[in-house]
Amino acid sequence: MSHMPALLSGKRIAVLGSARGLGLAVAKATTEAGAEVIGIDAVAGFAHVSEFFRLDPGEPAAIDRLAEALPDGLDGLCLVPALDPADTVEQALLRGVMGPTRLALRLAPRMAAGGAIVTQGTAHDGARAQHLGLIRAALALRRDSAEGFGQRWGLAAEPALTPRLIAWAMEAWVMQHRWSWAPQGPRTACLVTASPDGRLPPHIAAARGLEAGMGQHQAAQAAVFMFSALAAGMTGSALAADGGLSAETQTSLEGL
């Protein structure tokens, strides 16, 4: 009996955030699916990748150097840098929004036909619509304009808002660039997870009879699908891989 080829056989995928959290899970899953994975992170990590590049995604010049060093013809780019609790609001936004989008914009024109750029989002709720101005400002943030951003927008007083803002901004970027490289260039897609590192909240894990850490594995498997030819019709879209959190939030908001 012949075996089916791995879903990502022959593909090359770069993962920003490959050494930790969800990015590490994606690096493992895409490798297991047959891809050659190029790891990118601020900390050393060589497991599950064929090549590793060290990068601080908050440094524009370093991003530009990395973009030049990466090969042409990538089939996929995954943008899931791990958040550092020690970062200021400004550092988190530069590393979580400015850096990933800058890298993607430089690599996209050189990517293979039929490729995909996958970012990370979060479950929708009523708060997103109330922060559209902040989301636009986060997408426009640059290193030379970052000072005082958190204070101007009241983020310092609400620490939990910053990781949500990063996820909102990255999903907005995905939607903005739905056709930017059509018809031959990469698609864009957003992986909606239950938490920044992909782990499931305890009540979701308990409802599904899973351990919280399984959320990372399941989200990573969804990323494999999004990089595959099976997802060719998806661009500018979001895929919920959050154990049902998006559905719980939506039904609660609508009283269903």
Task: Give residue-wise pLDDT tens across range 174-188.
Answer: 999 999 999 989 999
1 in any annotated domain? no
pLDDT at 5: 60
First-to-last alpha carbon distance for the chain, in angstroms, is 48
pLDDT digits (tens, 9 = 90+) for 182-231: 998 999 999 999 888 888 888 888 888 878 778 899 999 999 999 999 99
User: Residue 253 — very low, low, confident or very high, per pLDDT cuts 50/70/90?
Assistant: confident
Chain-centroid distance of CA 94 in Å reads 14
pLDDT at 234: 94
The length of the chain, given as a count of residues: 256
Domain around 191: 12-254
30 in any annotated domain? yes
Q: Which residue has the tokens 């019709």?
A: 233
User: Residue 2 — very low, low, confident or very high, per pLDDT cuts 50/70/90?
Assistant: very low
4 in any annotated domain? no
pLDDT digits (tens, 9 = 90+) for 80-138: 999 888 999 999 999 999 999 999 999 999 999 999 999 999 988 778 889 999 999 99
Is pLDDT larger for residue 2 or for residue 106?
106
Q: What is the pTM of this model?
A: 0.93
Highest average pLDDT, of 2-6, 155-159, 212-216, 228-232, comes from: 228-232
CA distance 11 to 39: 14
With a cut of 80, say whether residue 38 has pLDDT above it.
Answer: yes
Q: Which residue has the tokens 């996820």?
A: 167
Query: Among residues 2, 37, 19, which one has the least CA distance to residue 223?
Result: 37
Arithmetic mean of pLDDT over the chain: 92
Check which CATH number belongs to the domain holding 17 and give it.
Answer: 3.40.50.720
With a cut of 60, say whether residue 4 has pLDDT above it.
Answer: no
pLDDT at 1: 37
Is pLDDT larger for residue 77 or for residue 129?
77
Q: Residues 8-17: what's their mean pLDDT?
A: 97
CA distance 130 to 210: 33
57 in any annotated domain? yes
122 in any annotated domain? yes
2 in any annotated domain? no
pLDDT at 72: 97
Residue 137 is which amino acid?
A
For 117, residues 6+ apart whose C-beta sits below 8 A from its C-beta are 76, 77, 79, 104, 108, 111, 174, 177, 186, 187, 188, 189
Count the domains in the chain: 1
246 in any annotated domain? yes
39 in any annotated domain? yes
